[in-house]
Amino acid sequence: MPILEAKNLTYTYSIGSPFEKTAVDHIDLSIAEGEFVGVIGHTGSGKSTLMQMMNGLLQPTSGQILLDGCDIWDKKTDRRNIRFQVGLVFQYPEYQLFEETVYQDIAFGPKNMKLSEAEIDRRVRETAEAVGLTEEQLKKAPYALSGGQKRRAAIAGVMAMEPRVLILDEPTAGLDPKGRTKILTQLQAFHKRTGCTILLVSHSMEDVARYASKLLVLSQAKVVCYDTPTGVFAQSQSLESMGLALPQITRIFKQLAEKGISFEDEVYTVKYGAELLKTRLEGRNPEC
């Protein structure tokens, strides 16, 4: 059962002005519940516009967005309620922190949902734990946290709404490798625990390859493909022609295949690649 669907979806900016630009061009898409989708594409490929349409912040020029089969722009739909069900974390979300304490900031979303005090408290504490913020840090002012902590507090603010779909626009931008891994593994754990659907927009092929179950590739306002990482990386040439770099490990295995050392599976994580090589070298696998 798909949770989110796009039907013939189009968005055009500044219609009728000299700046008119179609950012999303007749897209059809169906995302199953519980999927971890990595969204990749260049700046200007329409990713951000598509994500903002999915939670009802932007109204499509034409076409539909369906949540559980219902059009979110139907007259009867409460759009604010849609935003609670499809949570969206913008780029550099730490710049939106505004409350006096981290606790209050995480509670902002749940408060807008008009939940009970006890429920808000439970949600704030649970999500704070999920992103690794301590009791002590919840009492602090947002500006007193480090860069990575601020980012995680901001993400927790959206998680606390317990959305069924969580969309994150480059949540690791500007962080160092340690900070990146921290957020991504926490996201993975959150996904496992809650079973919510995640859409992760990223420029890093390495990252999406490691965490996503499906990849959505966008280029020039269109969907190029929506498939498993194996399926997507099998079309390496079309990806590279779009200027999207494959993970280095995948490129290494492509080159090995050209030299006669080929494997059936697509390789997109180092660990898996090393396993395959070791097995082959030990001669246990008579594959080639």
Least CB distance to another protein at residue 94 (A): 9
Of the candidates 173, 225, 234, 242, which one interacts with another protein according to CB under 8 A? 173
Q: What is the rounded distance in angstroms from the CA atom of residue 275 to the CA atom of residue 288? A: 16
Measured from the CB atom, the residue of 8 and 147 that comes closer to another protein is: 147
Beta strands 222-227 and 36-40, pairing class? unpaired
Apex CA 88: angle with CA 85 and CA 91, to 5°? Answer: 175
161 near another protein, judged by CB under 8 A = yes
Rule CB under 8 A: which of 239-258 touch another protein? 243, 245, 247-249, 251-252, 255-256
46 near another protein, judged by CB under 8 A = no
Measured from the CB atom, the residue of 130 and 205 that comes closer to another protein is: 205
Q: What is the rounded distance in angstroms from the CA atom of residue 159 to the CA atom of residue 149? A: 15
Least CB distance to another protein at residue 58 (A): 9
Which range, of 24-32, 61-69, 109-117, 216-224, touches another protein by CB under 8 A? 109-117
Of the candidates 28, 95, 189, 240, which one interacts with another protein according to CB under 8 A? 95
Site string for another protein, 6-45 (x = CB under 8 A): -------xx--x-x----------------------xx--
Of the candidates 34, 203, 220, 227, which one interacts with another protein according to CB under 8 A? 203
Rule CB under 8 A: which of 114-133 touch another protein? none
Apex CA 182: angle with CA 219 and CA 253, to 5°? Answer: 55
Q: What is the rounded distance in angstroms from the CA atom of residue 267 to the CA atom of residue 283? A: 19
Least CB distance to another protein at residue 126 (A): 17
Least CB distance to another protein at residue 132 (A): 15
Q: How many CB atoms lie within 10 A of CB 56?
A: 22
Measured from the CB atom, the residue of 5 and 206 that comes closer to another protein is: 206
Could you give the strand order of the β-sheet that contains 21-32, starting from the edge strand earlier in sequence? 21-32, 2-13, 62-67, 70-71
192 near another protein, judged by CB under 8 A = no
List interacting residues with another protein (CB under 8 A): 13-14, 17, 19, 42-43, 52, 55, 57, 80, 83-84, 87-90, 93, 95-98, 108-109, 112-113, 143, 146-148, 157-158, 161, 173-179, 203, 206, 243, 245, 247-249, 251-252, 255-256, 259, 261, 270-271, 273-274, 277-278, 280-281, 283
